[in-house]
């Protein structure tokens, strides 16, 4: 009997251990509620709501429950929630969803009453707003549909009736339909392009199978010599095939685009194809890009095509082409800091010194990569702006009392940084410099280092660069940087860009810690270092991460001729790519950085190098100009084949 009783107790203990533990604290209950909301388990969510009364994030649970039944909720109930949460992020999100429901149900009186209270923008809501105006016979609403029509995405539901009206009236002809199809195909939105083709007369519409076939295998379509190119849809599919192939192999696409094939296309169509070939050649830093842009001279070029024409011109050292390309840019694009700087360099190279100084002066007082380069062209040293304002304790306490900041902090402590960032960004909108610095200080005190840096970065006149360029964990990072003979300012500049000093952060790609190490890279480095007690679980430890990250950074730097620009590019995109992006001749470091094909890596390298300048100045490090730090990128050399093979092995390890 005793033995049976003991066995029963043991079984009960095992069952208790196997059963999932129920959430106990309000934090645990809320995280369980969050999971239930994402799973659509609203019965469970309602049970959790009762246990979260008074909890800082409890209004989220109420909003999730309300959003689940917006179709049936009364206007009074929705408005009561919006009134309680007035001007909050939650109110904005719920109002946005409610407006979509009202638009779908065509409850235009309610929609018109609520829409002016929406603070932000939303494409779906904007389309319903146009429809609401059109219902009141406001014909100008139809004209505004064009902005949605020429956006490379699926047409929002609210704009569909308006687009159909424009097509039926003949205000959207086949030309406008094909223009939208081209935009969508360029963006890879093949399904949306097929839906748009439904607006064409049946005899002009492309075949669905052929359209998706071209997307999957453009060469097969181009190899078919029996196509009837007198039909527009066949020519459009051919142009799509050339664009699709050019994304991966511009030279192969140009091989198909021979004189015999070109003769069957109109001048405008030929210009369009040349523009696509030129864009993709420029993105691969091919010397054919500029001649192909010349072939597309009469074709209208999109902003991305003009940006890459500018980069191709820089790559070739063709300053006159830089000047001409800038003149072709629309005003907003032409006045972006990057293009202002390069216009200044072009003016300088072409002997227009006064014009160059004027252009450099326009951006030299700012604090980004191109501002620093422009200031150096004017002979201006780097000066850290004096601290313009120190928030008083009561200013920081006022921030701490605001519901949005309290919720942002609560999400942050639950390790839900995406939700925290949304609350934070909403809460700082419209703030002046003093308020931003108080919010940044609140974030710093609560070790929300990413929010502190990003918020201090937004000030316009009053600055605090000690927060803008925070250096948490400086001791660990600095010790390991010195041990590897790396410049501390450069390591801090890289970490600021990688993780904003969030030690436990993990990226969607799997990278972890301050220096954002991938599992295979960390393991490889630990083996090279002889780290006996290594485990992946330790990678978010600041000391371990700094040791592994600085070792790998030193390894990359040594492999890339000691050039920090190449090393930064390699740290982000891999050593093989960093080498591949060099030129056959020496290349100015700033031009190398600007012509990196990957948007993320191009931005990353510029910011790491600019960060380095400011950390060096703040820490009292070596005084070197940014241009000197960027240096000259050596050309591709004979040992590249061996090094590329070695880099490929390392990238596989990552």
Give 587's DSSP letter.
Answer: E
368 touches 375 (CB < 8 A):
no
Q: Where are the domains of the chain?
A: 393-468, 474-653
Percent of the chain surpassing pLDDT 90: 91
d(C-alpha 13, C-alpha 6), whole Å: 11
579: which 2 tokens? 């080498």
Reading the block at residue 150, the tokens are: 């020429």
Instruction: Report the pLDDT value the prediction gives residue 623, as an integer from 0 to 100.
Output: 79
The mean per-residue pLDDT over the stretch 49-69 comes to 96
Q: For residue range 203-234, what is the model confidence (pLDDT) as tens digits?
A: 999 999 999 999 999 999 999 988 999 999 99
Give the span between the Cα atoms of 148 and 463, in whole angstroms.
Answer: 39
In 3-state terms, what secondary structure has residue 213? helix
What is the structure's pLDDT at 20?
Answer: 52
C-alpha radius of gyration, the chain, whole number: 29
Separation between Cα atoms, residue 43 and residue 31, nearest integer Å:
16
Going 148 to 149 to 154 to 155, the CA torsion angle's sign is: positive
pLDDT per position as a tens digit, 582-640: 999 999 999 999 999 999 999 999 999 999 999 999 998 677 999 999 999 999 874 44
Query: How far apart are the C-alpha atoms of 490 and 198, rounded to whole Å?
Result: 55
Q: What is the pLDDT of residues 20-38, one digit of tens each?
A: 566 689 999 999 999 999 9
What would the mean pLDDT of 93-112 be, rounded to a whole number? 97
Q: Which residues share a beta bridge with 387?
A: 463
Alpha helices in 429-541 (DSSP H): 433-445, 449-456, 465-468, 474-483, 488-498, 519-529
Determine which one of 85, 321, 377, 498 is catalytic.
498
Question: Is 498 one of the annotated active-site residues of the chain?
Answer: yes
Give the CB-side neighbour count of residue 180, counting CA atoms within 13 A. 27
Residue 18: the pLDDT is 42
pLDDT at 156 over 90: yes
SS3 content of the chain, % helix, strand, coil (to 5): 70, 0, 30
Distance CA 339, CA 310 (A): 8
Mean pLDDT of 134-149: 93
Return all residues near 226 (Cβ < 8 A) that are at least 6 apart. Answer: none
Architecture of the 393-468 domain: Orthogonal Bundle (1.10)
Contacts 24+ apart (CB under 8 A), 42-45: 42/68
Residue 21: the pLDDT is 61
The DSSP bridge partners found for residue 517 are 512
pLDDT at 164 > cutoff 50 = yes
Distance in angstroms between the alpha carbons of the first and the last residue of the chain: 60
In the predicted model, what is the mean pLDDT of residues 266-283?
97
* Local structure of residue 158 (DSSP, 8 states): G
pLDDT (0 to 100) of residue 393: 97
Sign of CA dihedral 467, 468, 473, 479: negative
Measured distance CA(596)–CA(578) in Å, rounded: 9
Structure tokens at 274: 């040349």
pLDDT digits (tens, 9 = 90+) for 482-531: 999 999 999 999 999 999 999 999 988 899 999 999 999 999 999 999 99
**Residue-level pLDDT at 648:** 46
Question: How far is the C-alpha of 487 from the C-alpha of 509, rounded, in Å?
Answer: 28
Q: Can you tell me the mean pLDDT for 264-272?
A: 96
Per-residue pLDDT reduced to its tens digit, 402-411: 999 999 999 9
DSSP-derived secondary structure letter, 115: G
Mean of pLDDT values over 444-464 = 97
Report the topology of domain 474-653: Lysozyme (1.10.530)
d(CA 248, CA 582): 19
What is the model's pTM?
Answer: 0.91
Is the predicted pLDDT of residue 559 greater than 80, yes or no? yes
Mean pLDDT of the chain: 93
pLDDT at 649 over 70: no
User: Could you tell me what percent of the chain has a pLDDT over 70?
Assistant: 94
pLDDT of residue 10: 44
User: Taking 70 as the threshold, does the pLDDT of residue 351 lie above it?
Assistant: yes
């Amino acid at each position: 009997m005793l033995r049976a009783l003991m066995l029963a107790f043991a079984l009960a203990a095992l069952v208790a251990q196997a059963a999932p533990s129920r959430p106990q604290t309000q934090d645990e209950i809320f995280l369980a509620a969050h999971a239930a909301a994402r799973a659509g388990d609203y019965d469970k969510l309602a049970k959790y709501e009762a246990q979260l009364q008074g909890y800082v994030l409890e209004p989220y649970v109420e909003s999730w429950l309300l959003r689940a039944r917006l179709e049936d909720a009364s206007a009074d109930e929705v408005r009561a929630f919006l009134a309680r949460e007035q001007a909050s992020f939650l109110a904005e999100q719920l109002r946005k969803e409610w407006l979509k429901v009202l638009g779908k149900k065509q409850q235009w009186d309610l929609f018109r009453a609520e829409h002016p209270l929406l603070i932000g923008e939303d494409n779906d809501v904007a389309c319903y707003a146009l429809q609401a105006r059109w219902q009141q016979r406001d014909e100008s609403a139809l004209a505004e549909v064009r902005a949605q029509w020429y956006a490379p995405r699926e047409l929002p539901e609210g704009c569909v009736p308006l687009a159909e009206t424009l097509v039926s009236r003949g205000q959207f002809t086949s030309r406008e339909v094909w223009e939208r199809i081209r935009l969508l195909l360029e963006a890879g939105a093949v399904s949306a392009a097929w839906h748009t083709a439904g607006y064409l007369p049946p005899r002009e519409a492309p075949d669905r199978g052929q359209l998706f076939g071209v997307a999957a295998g453009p060469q097969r379509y181009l190899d078919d010599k029996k196509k009837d190119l007198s039909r527009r849809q066949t020519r459009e599919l051919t142009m799509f095939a050339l664009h699709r192939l050019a994304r991966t192999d511009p030279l192969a696409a140009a091989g198909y685009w021979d004189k015999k094939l070109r003769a069957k296309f109109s001048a405008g169509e030929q210009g369009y194809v040349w523009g696509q070939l030129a864009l993709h050649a420029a993105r691969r830093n091919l010397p054919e890009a500029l001649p192909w842009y010349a072939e597309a001279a009469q074709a209208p070029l999109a902003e991305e095509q003009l940006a890459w024409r500018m980069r191709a011109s820089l790559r070739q050292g063709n300053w006159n082409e830089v000047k001409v390309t800038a003149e072709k840019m629309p005003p907003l694009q032409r006045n972006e800091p990057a293009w202002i700087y390069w216009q200044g360099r072009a003016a300088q190279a072409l002997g227009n010194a006064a014009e160059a100084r004027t252009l450099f002066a326009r951006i030299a007082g700012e604090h980004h990569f191109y501002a620093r380069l422009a200031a150096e062209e004017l002979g201006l040293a780097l000066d850290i702006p004096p601290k313009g304002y120190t928030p008083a304790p009561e200013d920081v306490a006022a921030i701490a009392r605001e519901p949005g900041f309290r919720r942002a902090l609560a999400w942050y402590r639950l390790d839900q940084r995406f939700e925290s960032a949304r609350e934070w960004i909403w809460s700082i909108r419209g703030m002046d410099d003093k308020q931003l610095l108080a919010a940044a200080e609140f974030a710093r005190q609560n070790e929300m280092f990413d929010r502190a840096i990003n918020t201090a970065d937004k000030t316009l006149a009053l600055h605090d660069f000690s927060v803008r360029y925070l250096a948490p964990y400086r001791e660990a990072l600095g010790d390991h940087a010195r041990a590897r003979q790396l410049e501390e300012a450069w390591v801090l500049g890289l970490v600021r860009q990688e993780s904003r000093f969030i030690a436990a952060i993990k990226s969607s790609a799997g990278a972890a810690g301050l220096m954002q190490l991938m599992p295979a890279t960390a393991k490889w480095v630990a083996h090279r270092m002889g780290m006996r007690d290594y485990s992946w679980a330790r990678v978010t430890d600041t000391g371990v991460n700094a040791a592994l990250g600085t070792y790998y950074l030193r390894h990359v730097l040594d492999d890339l001729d000691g050039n920090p620009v190449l090393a930064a590019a390699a740290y982000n995109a891999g050593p093989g790519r960093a080498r591949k992006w060099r030129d056959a001749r020496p290349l100015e470091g700033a031009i190398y950085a600007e012509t990196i094909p990957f948007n993320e890596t191009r931005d990353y390298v510029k910011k790491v190098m600019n960060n380095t300048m400011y950390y060096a100045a703040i820490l009292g490090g070596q005084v070197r100009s940014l241009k000197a730090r960027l240096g000259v990128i050596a050309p591709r050399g004979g040992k590249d084949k061996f090094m590329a093979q070695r880099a490929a092995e390392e990238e596989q390890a990552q």
